[in-house]
Amino acid sequence: MTKQKITPEPWILTGFGDEIHTDPRIQIAVLKALGAKHIEIRSAWGTNILDLSEPQLHELRSLMDTNGINVSAVASPIGKVEIELPVEHEVDRLRTAIRAADILKAKFIRIFSFHCGAATGEASIRDAVMERMTALATLAEDAGVVLLHENEKDIYGDNPARILDIMETVDSPALKVAWDPANFVQVGISPFDEAYALLRPHVAYLQIKDARASDKVVVPAGEGDGDIPRTISALKADGYSGFISVEPHLASAHLLGGFSGPAAFGDATRALTSILADAGVQTA
């Protein structure tokens, strides 16, 4: 009997629309021109996803339907706040994000794991972080969505050991890792050598930007120290299939995100897809 050849599933190309422009129509047009059929929504019309009105969310959904594009994730700022805020503060904001995800037909919601605030260090806030992350994951489980923890710098979960601690302590199918190599580089971590093996079992989504270790400047994929080619090859070998999101941050960065503009976003996307092609990864 001839053994049937198994064709790997293509990875799904997506990107942060507001890195392109504030107008979602332009966001969609550029992503489609680059071959993407999905978009990650952090803001639209210059308004953060948590602050969009229900009519605006329905207008966004209508734009997606008209243009044949879907939402890969709601990129919320939940957890990018001081730990001193009460647990319910971010739980309430997650309810808002879940409503947005429901209207936009998105399974994933990006979150963070809190700033230290006035605390004396990461160890002193561990219990408070776990309490809050558990509450968020419990709500997500009930709502049927999956939270993606991004390894943002200057939060509790900014290094591999603490991210793993969150994943193992909360231990929820509704809490996974969004892999961001540039953020690791900017806190002095070599992503592949120091984080990949530790976190790979929990990685469910890729958010790609690169950075140089020497000056922490964000650059297109493959031009920095984010180990992106090695990581992509390893993920392919491990059987990864899922979203790979372009988040270039090539023009500016701020507390709630970054911006690149259409031309730089295109350059960043082509740099990434070139690496994917070299690794034999197909995208859809």
Q: What is the pLDDT of residue 1?
A: 46
Instruction: Please give the backbone phi and psi of residue 8, each rounded to the nearest 5 degrees, phi first.
Output: -60, 145
Q: What is the pLDDT of residue 250?
A: 83
CB 105 within 8 A of CB 66: no
CB 154 within 8 A of CB 114: no
CB 160 within 8 A of CB 194: yes
Give residue-wise pLDDT tens across range 173-195: 999 999 999 999 999 999 999 99
3-state DSSP of 197-226: HHHHHHEEEEEECEECCCCCCEECCCCCCC
CA 274/CA 243 separation, integer angstroms: 16
CA 28/CA 225 separation, integer angstroms: 30
From residue 244, give the alpha-carbon distance in Å to each of 36, 39, 123, 254: 10, 11, 32, 22
Give residue-wise pLDDT tens across range 218-235: 999 999 999 999 999 999
Q: What is the pLDDT of residue 221?
A: 97
The one-letter amino acid code at 247 reads: E
pTM listed for this prediction = 0.94
Q: What is the pLDDT of residue 118?
A: 66
Q: What is the pLDDT of residue 7?
A: 58
Residues of the chain predicted below pLDDT 50: 1-2, 5
CB 268 within 8 A of CB 277: no
Q: What is the pLDDT of residue 260?
A: 84
